[in-house]
Amino acid sequence: MENQDIIISEINKIISEEIKFLNRYYDYDLKRFFCTELFYGSAFLSFFNIKDIRDFDTGRNYRINNHLYGKANFSFFDTGKIIDLITGIELLAIGLNIHSSHENILRKVFGKSENPEKIIEKNYTIELLFGDIFYSRAISYLINFDDFVIFDNILKSLLSVHHSRIIIHQMIKDVVNGIKNIYWFFNEGLTEIKMLNALLKEMFFTGIGVSNLDVSGEKTKEFLGVIDKIVLLKTYNDLDDYTRQALSESSEAILYNPADDFYARSEDLKKSLEIEINKLEPEWIKDNFLKLSFKFV
């Protein structure tokens, strides 16, 4: 097992115990909201050269060389704190997944003339309750990382996700009903839809900061561009999934289903992304990004 996989396995055990604990009190399928591949944690770990550490042990800390373009770049890998940080982020992600499930957001928007934000407020479901519980559990792990700036940035990105989600879901409704054009999502609305995955982007940049990676060089623009495309790819995948689930259960007559457009954009992006990742240097960071990109395919 590779060292990154050892960390992911350890975090999976922790989160599985959290889910198991909650299920003792309420019989609800929480596992379906948990991605065991840990997208967010893997994004963070992309900037750490831990592959060649011998006899890797999650109970030990390491001084690692995240070398870039022939220059040494040492950082302290506090394994315990990093596991806490990733665990907290992945618990937040579960909360986001529960909140964004079609039962409590998209499905309620269709056929309603009210403001979607007020619709959500009036329908505080068991799903929303569990989402909030996962948020609260995440805080205890994030605090253990002991970095207020990172903690603050994570919370700000979470607020951005929720704000963007309200706007995007209303836009999806308008597109389906023929009021808006689908091309809004791919042109003037592109910045807004990326905010749906503001938390993922924040984890990339948190990884850059904690790994002490120097991103001032000209060549680093290449993997910054890759980050942007991975965030966009996950966004298209999410929008495809959201709309297909919501519209499949809608009782309304659907004028147009935008899911196919999101899927097509996603497929085009996958092809260009693979080419760009294979151009990355050094080899260790390319391998990390390739491993991450496979999780989105």
Least confident of 180-194, 201-215, 260-274: 180-194
Kindly state the average pLDDT of the residues 189-196: 89
Quickly tell me which residue has 């003339």 as its tokens: 113
DSSP conformation class of 24: T
Range 156-174 average pLDDT: 87
Q: Going from the N-terminus, what domains does the chain have, and what CATH number goes with each? A: 3-47+75-294 (1.10.600.10)
Q: Token digits for 223?
A: 């993997």
Structure tokens belonging to residue 220? 């680093």
Full-model pTM? 0.89
d(CA 47, CA 210): 9
Over residues 219-242, the mean pLDDT reads 89
Other CB atoms within 10 Å distance of the CB of residue 38: 24
How high does pLDDT run on average in the chain? 86
Q: In this model, does residue 138 exceed pLDDT 80? A: yes
- Which among 243, 236, 269 has a CA at the least distance from the CA of 258? 243
Tokens of 235: 């966004």
pLDDT in tens, 39-53: 999 999 999 999 989
Distance in angstroms (rounded) separating the CA atoms of residues 277 and 169: 31
